[in-house]
Amino acid sequence: MFARRHPFLFFLCVICACFTLGLVAVSGVAVIGAFAVNSEIRSAIASTKGNIGVVEVTGPIISSKKIIQDFQGFMNDDAIKAIILRVDSPGGGIGPSQEIYRELMKNRDTKIVIASMGSVAASGGYYIACATQGIVANSGTITGSIGVIMEYANLEQIAEKIGISPVVIKSGEYKDMGSPMRKLKDSEKKLFQHLVDELHAQFVFDAAAARNMETDVMAKLADGRVYTGQTAMKLKLVDRIGNLDDAVQWAGQMAGIEGELTPVYPKADKMTLFKKLAETLFQDVNLGTRLSEQLRYVFN
């Protein structure tokens, strides 16, 4: 009966249900496999005494908590003489990216920290890498994308088709600006553009300061375009071409470590498989919503 009376809404519900089930199935398999493998690897690595700590930043930057905890753990460990920030991320939330950047910058003179870029270290991923004493990228690493983006879907026409009429009670003219249930007014676009421009200026200033580069020079490179690691080195956005091991060797040299260089990773979280699965699924389902609700330093 419902399908006949509301065919469009029924179709939309079916699509959403299929997508969610598929996401749950894929994520479940991925998490079970990754959890088993990573737990075994991390247990072995964490039990080994090392002198170079490796902090991993993988995937979208949604929270700074775990990254900063891992970093502080190595900073407070006298056995760790240098730290590698391994970045394989397209960026993410501005707040978390800035928190990581600040934490790295304020400890810059305490221990040697070198960034090692993986496949992608763009936008917010590049932002945090800037705060280290040196950046090593693969020649094919995708980096750059220095800029800010804000985007959302306008669902006004869909709402009309399924008979939804939004009711908004607000305290000020701009309290609901950015609502997906209506078009953006010209005055609202100007306000959002001003916000984006201000956050972009912060990115440019911070990146230039960390890289010891003139702000005007950095600004010319910060139009949102991406660069390969090879091009980025020519533009002085990164320092060397190499892999993770090359970054470890460089960090060891800068820290004056004699003898064997032994990378060590943070200890694995004591988390049950079920809890890990539930947390990952929740993150996957809500990732789009959470990121779309904020301005981002991210490479799309």
Instruction: Supply the residues annotated as catalytic.
Output: 123, 175
Chain position carrying tokens 């939004």: 166
* CA–CA dist 4, 84 (Å, integer): 59
Torsion sign across C-alpha atoms 20, 289, 62, 152 = positive
